[in-house]
Structure 1
Amino acid sequence: MTKFFHFSGDEPELSQLSDEELVQKAHGELFHVARAAYEELMRRYQRTLFKVCARYLGNEVDADDVTQEVMLKVLYGLKRFEGKSKFKTWLYSIAYNECITQYRKERRKRRLLNALTLEAPEEASEEKAPKLEEKGGLDRWLAHVGPIEREILILRFVAELEFQEIADIMHMGLSATKMRYKRALDKLRDKLSGASEI
């Protein structure tokens, strides 16, 4: 079972602040004993962040590691965060890049293992994204689309980002992002025509 960090949340007024206000407050707190604003930001996003990583990577162990790495990067990167994008967009941009890095590491490990055991690598699986557990719901849908479409769907449905935010994170144009999203949904409707509406 995944364990989440438990942040104190002793200051009830912090939960009423916007992300931007918390970022400003965190700037004055970082690297001091009290980091209440940073903790409130992490408490606010940790569960969804973990879900995004777990769905992208396909397992909770790697998702735990990546979530913790993202939280550390946020801690040390907040001083440089200028607020040119929403905090949420910046956070999921870090998560997206960390997930890609983790996935590439795992793929290299599999290649090395195949070479050491003299097993022929499965060419088809090399280009596939991580296999997701069949749990029904979104996980079941994601297994039917390619890596880029899956990332867009995860950021849209799990992180609940706007299309422009997704486009910024993935370094794609807005129209291309929307087109990929629509194409993914069309593919899912074809595959799951007997299922309920997506």
Structure 2
Amino acid sequence: MSESALTRNRYNPRELSDEELVERARHELLHTTLAYEELMRRYQRTLFNVCARYLGNERDADDVTQEVMLKVLHGLRNFEGKSRFKTWLYSITYNECITQYRKEKRKRRLLDALSLDPQEEVVQPRESIPAASKGLDALLVNVNPIDREILVLRFVAELEFQEIAEIMHLGLSATKMRYKRALDKLRDQLGNPFSE
């Protein structure tokens, strides 16, 4: 490899924007994973937190996070950039969480049908989620899954309403309305104002 090619290939991934990393990863993947690894380093914790809040347990959240990271690794070469990388990433995360949620729901129904105690096999105790997040997790249990996901994407992933609407395949006004209703429900549970 020539000296100029070596110089051109060396870079500090922490100095690049998501878009620059995506572009490099699209061309580098399968040869090197430097740009991909930086993208995952930036988002892995938030991905896990989104999954944990949506699914309610760390074991499933960890599994889904790993699955999302694999899907990004394999799908990044075909990412067209029609939306921001962050929006695309959370769209994959949302779909994987829905898939896992449905899988667990089917499993619980089967265990119920077989007259087994679903608590003994399905999930690890909620104590595994850090104490600081237990309050929000307890409140989110009483919110329907779609509204819960909107709240998680807004507060945990810090996405804009337009990005949430794209991820969830909802209209912008429907997304805002569901968000407001979910916040109102949380306010009622708390008995005091809930600020964004």
Same structural fold, with TM-score higher than 0.5 when normalized by the shorter chain:
yes
Identify the residue that residue 87 of structure 1 maps to in structure 2. Answer: 85
Q: Kindly, what percent of the aligned residue pairs are identical? A: 74
How far apart, in 2, do the equivalents of 1:132 and 1:142 lie? Answer: 13
- Counterpart residue number, 1:25: 24
Match of residue 40 from structure 2: 42
Where do residues 142-181 of structure 1 align in structure 2 (5 Å cutoff)? Answer: 142-181=140-179
Q: Describe how 1:129-148 pairs up with structure 2 within 5 A.
A: 135-148=133-146
* Count of residue correspondences: 177
Q: Whole-Å Cα distance in 2 between the matches of residues 67 and 60 of structure 1?
A: 10
**How well do the aligned residues superpose, as a CA RMSD in angstroms?**
2.2
Looking at structure 1, the residues matched to 23 and 161 of structure 2 have their Cα atoms a distance apart, in angstroms, of 26
In proportion to residue count, which structure has more helix? Answer: 2
Alignment deviations for residues 169-191 of structure 1 (CA, whole Å, 9 cap, x no partner): 00000000001001111111112
| Deviation, structure 1 residue 110 | 1.0
Contact in 1 for aligned 2:186/2:194 (Cα 8 Å): no
- Structure 1 segments of 4 or more deviating over 2 A? 131-138, 194-198
Pairs within 5 Å for 1:68-87: 68-87=66-85
Q: Is the 8 A contact 2:51 2:64 kept in 1?
A: yes
2:96 is matched with 98
CA spacing shift, 1:12–1:29, aligned 2, 3 Å: closer
Taking structure 2 as the reference length, the TM-score comes to 0.83
1:62-115 CA distance string (max 9 Å, x none): 111100000000000001100000000000000000001011111111111111
CA–CA distance in structure 2, aligned partners of residues 170 and 157 of structure 1: 15
> What runs of 5+ residues in structure 2 fail to find an aligned partner?
1-9, 119-124
**Residue 138 of structure 1 aligns to a residue in which SS?**
helix
- TM-score, normalised relative to structure 1: 0.82
* Counterpart residue identity of residue 183, structure 2: L
In terms of Rg, which structure is larger?
2
